[in-house]
Amino acid sequence: MSTRDLTVPVAAPATPWRQRLGTMVPILVLAPSLAASFIYVFVFTLWTLYLSLSSSSLMPTYGFVGLDNYASLWANRRWNIAYTNLFLFSGFYIVGSMAIGLLLAILIDQRVRGEAVWRTIFLYPLAVSFIVTGTVWSWLYNPVDGIQAFVRGLGWTDFSFALTANRNTAIYAVIITGIWQSSGFAMALFLAGLRSVDPDLVKAAQIDGASVSRTYRKVILPTIAPIFLAVAVIQIQFAIKTFDLVAALTRGGPGVSTTFPAIYVYDLMFQRGQIGEGAAAAMMMLAALAVVLMPYSLWIVWRRRAEGRNG
């Protein structure tokens, strides 16, 4: 065997300025988006916080009034309805869309024929904007030319389906529409989770004599528990931001029965010129989000630590 020269010509050591440029490039590239996030998230949050404590009306002013805006906000019946609606809607919407999404995911996971078609159909509502969803469903709910009129036209002349016409039931129309819109999304996430479960687990459960429902309850669903949490958190922040769906579906009515915090904030700030109180309402929405997201992120941190400990 002949010996070969194994030394490969190496580039001359990089000059210090090149090295410095090399370390700078990632920072330079990220800087604009970091700055934008910082300004839009933190600066504007703090500004809103300040406005909520000010006497701003049509234009931002900086006369400090303490918690006056919050007091007047909570004294307002419409705001109380909006905040109640938010919790009512969030509860039903999240539980409903997760339950339906999970059911659909489990059904599709049975290796049904034409799986891709079903998946697309169920996921499709998510591709439709809230405005379109709201408009279409407002037609469906409309007693004069919606579902009620259609069924009556078939001959059931006593049939009544007018959720949006009644101030006690209108919120449920919003909830049903919301569930329709996002259960496909929940399904997609759950399906991905179900597909990530080791098929051997199912086989082992089969040999262990567990029924299908027991296999799901005890083996598969506990395994994908983190996905439940992820879906819930995503849905909650959807729910808290709800604006366009309601704007298109019921316009907050009848009366003020389907007012949501986001609609209320918009009204105060841009329609009535009460920027101070509007900012206070916005801060309350932020508080609602924080109540949900803080425990979640704390849990994530805790879990990462726990995993780090166990290797």
Partner 1 sequence: MSALMIRDLHKSYGGLEILAGINLEARTGEFVALVGPSGCGKSTLLAMIAGLETVTSGEIWIGDRLVNSVQPKDRDIAMVFQSYALYPTMTVRQNITFGMESRGVPKAEQAEAVKRVAALLQIEQLLNRKPGQLSGGQRQRVAMGRALVRDPKLFLFDEPLSNLDAKLRVDMRTEIKKLHHRVGKTTVYVTHDQVEAMTLASRIAVMNQGSVQQFDTPKRIYDRPTNMFVAGFMGSPAMNFIPARLAGSTSISVRAADGGDATLALAAPLPVGAPKDMVLGVRPEHIYRFTTDLKARKPAVQSMQAPVELVEPTGAETLAVLRLGDLEITGRFEPDDAPVMGETITLGIDMSRACLFDPVTKALL
Task: Record the tokens describing residue 208, joined without a space.
Answer: 């262990």
Q: How far is the CB of 3 from partner 1 (least distance, A)?
A: 16
CA dist., res. 263 & res. 51, Å (int): 18
Q: How buried is residue 203: exposed, middle or buried, by Cβ count under 10 Å (0-12/13-18/19+)? A: exposed
CA-to-CA distance for 30 and 23, rounded, in angstroms?
12
Q: How far is the CB of 211 from partner 1 (least distance, A)?
A: 8
* Nearer residue to partner 1 within complex by CB, 120 or 206: 206
Q: Any idea of the CA torsion for 126, 130, 134, 135, to the nearest 10 degrees?
A: -100
Q: Which residues bind partner 1 (CB under 8 A)?
A: 198, 200-201, 203-211, 214, 218-219, 222-223, 225, 310
Q: What minimum distance in Å lies between the beta carbon of 97 and partner 1?
A: 24
Q: How far is the CB of 297 from partner 1 (least distance, A)?
A: 22
User: Which C-beta is closer to partner 1: that of 20 or that of 214?
Assistant: 214
Exposure string for 118-131, b = 16+ CB within 10 A, e = fewer: ebeebbebbeeebe
Nearest CA to 187 among 295, 293, 115, 243?
115
Give the nearest distance from C-beta 146 to partner 1 in angstroms. Answer: 46
Choice between 23 and 310, CB closer to partner 1? 310
Q: Looking at beta carbons only, is 30 or 201 nearer to partner 1?
A: 201
Q: How far is CA 60 from CA 24, 140, 251, 274, in A?
A: 39, 42, 27, 9
CB of 169 or CB of 223, closer to partner 1: 223
